[in-house]
Amino acid sequence: MSCFAGAVTPTPVSNATGASVPTATGTNLNLATNAFGAAIEGVGVDKGGDVFAVDFEGGGRPPSSSFGFFYQTGSGTKNPLLINGIRFTKDETTVLLADAANSRVLRVTKNGTKTDIDIFCTDPRILQPNDIALSTKKDSLIFLSGRNFTADTIAGVSGDLWTCEAGKATQFDPAILAAADIHRTNGIETSPDGKFLYLSSAKNVGGKVVSNQIFKFSLDQHTGHLLKQKPTLFYDFVDSPATDIDGMRADVAGNLFVTRNGDGKVVKISPDGKLLAEIVLRGMGGPSSLELGGCDGSTLFAVGKCADNATIGCAASFKTDSVGKAFSILQKS
């Protein structure tokens, strides 16, 4: 079986410092127009490398109420099948769903032909949640980001960060977020060594987005929990401050793949905060989420609104040189 791959066309471009970084082009997967709606988001990978997304057959239905896979390892099909779930755990029968409408995370468990759904954690103060990051230390520990999009965002108020474990949701101190000038939070991911958590922040002033940054939080090496410390600035998109960060995923080497929603691209950032590459996604106007999957876990899949029709969802792929962190963890289960 060969792994699905995207086209590679290296071309040097300049980043904010003037340094040259390679750029490449992903492959449009040409999903059926009725496959996913415009709310396509929340990409997740299972142990087999199959890749899933939110808003399956979303046209005419409430957004993000259903799920399906758009890439099936083995057959390489691009026709999605209906399935419940989006963020897979080490237990192959269990997935976690961020329920942004009800301030909770749902746990969906498949028992033969029966599907059980219960609440993994909830708190009415949670903003959304927007996305989920899994701990590399504990199977029962996850992290949540959330945001409130307003014309003028407020640090420590317009975005938040939560930990969920054993049914309990705990908010990270908003005062620490405020001190770090963290506004709308969205993309969230943990490093493969379990030492850090990455969180994006976007700031609005007068209805305009004026900054997009990624912050790095320290994690306790024994418990996996967030340390009550001020985070450090990991990366600042000074060259494109108005382009929102959305999904973030790490590979096993600790590199971050970050979607630039509205720019039609994904960027790759090294563990020491250097821009390594830009991946242009054909046919996609605003990539919202991404994951590394495929049969060997090294194909980057991204989803978002189509460039020529913002009412439907598109997907693109690109063959990378490293395995995804989530895929790697699932192989050890």
| pLDDT the model gives residue 80 | 35
Is residue 280 within 8 Å of residue 265, measured between CB atoms? Answer: yes
Q: Tokens for 303? A: 């989803």
| pLDDT the model gives residue 135 | 94
Please state whether 35 falls in left (phi above 0), alpha (psi between -120 and 50) or beta. alpha
Is residue 126 within 8 Å of residue 160, measured between CB atoms? Answer: yes
Rounded Cα–Cα distance for residues 226 and 197 (Å): 8
Q: Per-residue pLDDT tens, the chain, 333 aa: give them.
A: 345 444 433 444 445 555 678 888 887 877 777 677 777 776 777 777 777 776 766 654 554 544 454 444 444 433 332 322 367 788 777 888 888 778 888 888 877 777 787 889 999 999 989 899 999 999 899 999 999 999 999 999 999 999 999 889 999 999 999 999 999 999 999 999 999 999 999 999 999 999 999 999 999 999 999 999 999 999 999 999 999 999 999 999 999 999 998 888 999 999 999 999 999 988 888 898 999 998 899 999 988 888 888 888 888 899 999 999 999 998 886
| pLDDT the model gives residue 13 | 46
| pLDDT the model gives residue 190 | 97
Is residue 106 within 8 Å of residue 129, measured between CB atoms? Answer: no
Q: Is the dihedral of CA 29, 33, 36, 40 positive or negative?
A: positive
| pLDDT the model gives residue 11 | 42
| pLDDT the model gives residue 59 | 52
Neighbours of 311 (CB within 10 A): 11
Q: Tokens for 187? A: 């993309």
Stated as kind and residue range, the H or E segment containing 236 is: strand 232-236
Q: Give one DSSP letter per residue of 224-292, joined into a string.
A: -PBPSS--EEEEE-TTSTTSEEEEEEEBTTS-EEEEEETTTEEEEE-TTS-EEEEEEETTEEEEEEEEE
Amino acid, single-letter form, for residue 102: N
| pLDDT the model gives residue 55 | 72
Cα–Cα–Cα angle for 329, 245, 318, rounded to 5 degrees: 55
Beta-carbon contacts of residue 274 (< 8 Å; ≥ 6 apart): none
Facing residues of 57 across strands? none
Q: Tell the CATH superfamily of the 84-242 domain.
A: TolB, C-terminal domain (2.120.10.30)
Is residue 70 within 8 Å of residue 315, measured between CB atoms? Answer: yes
The pLDDT tens digits of the residues spanning 245-269 come to 999 999 999 999 999 988 889 999 9
Q: Where are the domains of the chain?
A: 1-50+262-333, 84-242
**Closest Cα to residue 197, out of 157, 241, 247, 250?**
250
Stated as kind and residue range, the H or E segment containing 56 is: none
The pLDDT tens digits of the residues spanning 153-196 come to 999 999 999 999 988 999 999 999 999 999 999 999 999 999 99
**Closest Cα to residue 127, out of 107, 108, 150, 96?**
150
